[in-house]
Structure 1
């Protein structure tokens, strides 16, 4: 008996097949093997074709079944994790009307800010726990204002995972957690935010049908089953945004637990039982996957857009792809902590929420041509990424999310000893790395949604710590000094 999880990212779509009895992944695959294109028709824009997501999901699904030698009928349920905050618009026949506006697109900042001021910060923050900012609702407002002919033909709006599920089942479904990440959810009223819909002039009929995160959300149609290589009627029983799902994949479900990722963007995600918010919306609060009115669970999310993408840019543009990431780490250790005064602001992937939606671009500071070389450049970049994490973590602490242990999958930036040692030594937190990823988490979520597991402990059978990084307090002063210099540069750029 198996469960299939999909993780729809901005770089690829990954699939994982999980053995229910052992709780272990038996096969995984991702497509495309090179990164999916992100189109930028104007500065600050970021778009992708939803049909490309579907085609890559089909390739990944067939690949994992072939690798594992599993029959389609042995897959009992499907779970979906997806890139958050995107906007997909479709007509009544589920035809996509324009490319998806994805998470790192900055075009809607002014629409969110105007709504925040017009509705009033007090009402926005108390009901939405966030400013409308640059989230999905504001992106839809941009379409309404700038593409009225497209807006007039919209039957439903969807998040990326909603679209993937709709291609599977023909049903347009979303979740309270999903609506909260799009800033469509009223936390006080526990329903869609009618006052925000009214402000923007959105008809509530544009929203999909709402179902729980863990529940049957449709079954595979005959056509979708054929394209995916699966059995018709297989249920979709879980969906969540990538960061709540990453927390689920690490068994981060209760207050005080922290999850982190370091992919294209970097995230620190903490769980709280109280609906708190940052007055400046630099970190954001959403409904966690296991939230109920009786047992509230809120996810407080810090997102840094420019993390792994900076490391990738250095490798592909500066090093021309001549070395791998592991070799880059070997080069970087020849530079001292603080990179001998060279500092990097990693904010080069769109407007940063943690900087109040400023788009500073990425930049290096203090470069000395006679003293600094490639080791300093790589080290400064990775330290800059960690410094941006720590900057946001301090804001999270102000809204009641404590930090003692960081859980993460052993992947992406967390494969770098330099990155994880810097993070542990600067924060003073233990880092636990696990044998999991988003697609595996989505598969576990599917099992929970189907009711296959007796309890949470059984659901996470097979999840194991593969590496623990303890902070070296003797090194902390050097990292704190470098961080202090970094803050001075950041302050100058944001004045």
Structure 2
């Protein structure tokens, strides 16, 4: 037998999965690491924690599986995007990593927009947001110049772990796309952007494909992980790109809805000349010469968690949602906007906040629960519509994450998106995508599409109810008015938070 390993380096933990040639996840292991917030808005981690816990997770995976190390053909990575790791000329970390959810860089974002103007969207295809990597580099350049002077190269989180495992500096296109330093269409580092901020291009590592072999394990790493030094290591990809691969989003017309803490709508795309004016993200895919369009709802599953913890703390999620199937579409005239922590798509607005509109004395907990689910799904529908407006047909959506765990919510997605919804038999998300990159890189399959056909199996489909879809279409038009009519109120309320 032979196996591959997918390593998913998340924000709170690293997850490893052992997958066989049939795409079955036989064993998995997860190891947490701490998050540091030294000041309000700061979010940092120690890169060494990632390495140590990845090795622990790999070792536990091998011990519980009891397979021979020689049977592991290769491994690859998925990783949290945007995080900045600065290294000196000797490959030593210069400061804690600044993570994707760090918000200290608002001034740097404005500087990028003012300096680059229209070139930013022309080259990088994305707006300057606090989460991206370039603003973090500019923050260090301004506030920690002594650190910046020592910096020889920057890496993203999973690339640092891979460097420590192999000794090789590299970054794949899908993760590089989230730095604001990559020319998305030409798949090259942008000299225009780097020079605008006096950054040497030597700061950027070499670019590789996600399925490209970048080395084998260093002897001491092989010993610590209970693998062999011959284990092939493949570059891997950004967590969203790997999530798309793990859900089989590898052909034109394929779209995914992922509802975790945040919510993502992601569609496969081959047209590199598209211009969404920054309304959605446009990144390189893990598939060669392909892209993906992505809209983000910042508080998707988080909205449901907040609602339960605030108003129904003693109930489980199943108990909270048990009565929503008896509530009609529209929750008897109750609408919810999931702007608890601001919003990303289509309104990149840090000040906007959530609303319940139409609260009536006749509304029960179940009405509010259903309204929360509907509001989250309406927000995702906004991303669906932007993608459809680009000329793309969306007749089917793969639903993963928390939104795929409730039958009523799955049907609600079908009705609000007016599209067939597919639930997968086994859902491992980015970790599976990483394993698939390793399987393809090892030559098990002629293409990622062939790998997906073997590894990914649908479990159930949900077709839209035409009558309910009409009702939701009318309610969606009302939902879309709430942002414009509450924006000024929220800007004024921000001073009281």
TM over 0.5: yes
**Shift in Å, 1:369:** 7.5
Contact 2:295 2:346 (8 Å CA) reproduced: no
Q: Does the residue aligned with 2:469 lie in a helix, a strand or coil? A: helix
Contact 1:126 1:188 (8 Å CA) reproduced: no
TM-score by length of 2: 0.89
Q: Does the residue aligned with 1:353 lie in a helix, a strand or coil? A: coil
Structure 2 distance, partners of 1:361, 1:456, is 40
Mapping of residues 92-171 of structure 1, within 5 Å: 92-121=89-118, 123-134=119-130, 135-171=132-168
**Shift in Å, 1:195:** 0.7
- Residue deviations 1:54-106, cap 9 Å, x none? 34323332333233322222111011011222222233444433333222333
Give the aligned length: 483
Structure 2 distance, partners of 1:54, 1:325, is 34
- Residue deviations 1:79-137, cap 9 Å, x none? 1011222222233444433333222333334423432332221x322222223333211
Are residues 1:17 and 2:18 paired? yes
Taking structure 1 as reference, are residues 227 and 314 closer, same or farther at Cα in structure 2, changes over 3 Å only? farther
CA RMSD in angstroms, aligned pairs only: 2.5
Task: Give the match for residue 418 of structure 1.
Answer: 408
Mapping of residues 98-247 of structure 1, within 5 Å: 98-121=95-118, 123-134=119-130, 135-187=132-184, 189-247=186-244
Structure 1 segments unaligned to the other structure (5+ residues) = none
TM-score by length of 1: 0.89
Taking structure 1 as reference, are residues 332 and 58 closer, same or farther at Cα in structure 2, changes over 3 Å only? farther
- Residue deviations 1:324-368, cap 9 Å, x none? 33333215445443233333322334x643245311354232374
Structure 2 distance, partners of 1:172, 1:137, is 19
**Shift in Å, 1:440:** 1.6
Structure 2 distance, partners of 1:221, 1:470, is 50
- Residue deviations 1:13-51, cap 9 Å, x none? 22111112x23221223233xxx6544444444333333
**Shift in Å, 1:189:** 4.4
Structure 2 distance, partners of 1:98, 1:419, is 43
Q: Does the residue aligned with 2:456 lie in a helix, a strand or coil? A: coil
- Residue deviations 1:140-197, cap 9 Å, x none? 1122222323323323211122122122222221122322221221245442101101
Taking structure 1 as reference, are residues 202 and 419 closer, same or farther at Cα in structure 2, changes over 3 Å only? farther
Taking structure 1 as reference, are residues 403 and 96 closer, same or farther at Cα in structure 2, changes over 3 Å only? same
Structure 2 distance, partners of 1:308, 1:98, is 32
Structure 2 segments unaligned to the other structure (5+ residues) = 489-497
Bigger shift: 384-393 or 84-93?
84-93
Task: Give the match for residue 306 of structure 1.
Answer: 299
Contact 1:176 1:213 (8 Å CA) reproduced: yes
Contact 1:331 1:374 (8 Å CA) reproduced: no
Mapping of residues 23-62 of structure 1, within 5 Å: 23-32=23-32, 38-62=35-59
Q: Does the residue aligned with 2:213 lie in a helix, a strand or coil? A: coil
Contact 2:336 2:357 (8 Å CA) reproduced: no
Contact 1:276 1:399 (8 Å CA) reproduced: no
Are residues 1:441 and 2:437 paired? no
Contact 1:2 1:18 (8 Å CA) reproduced: yes
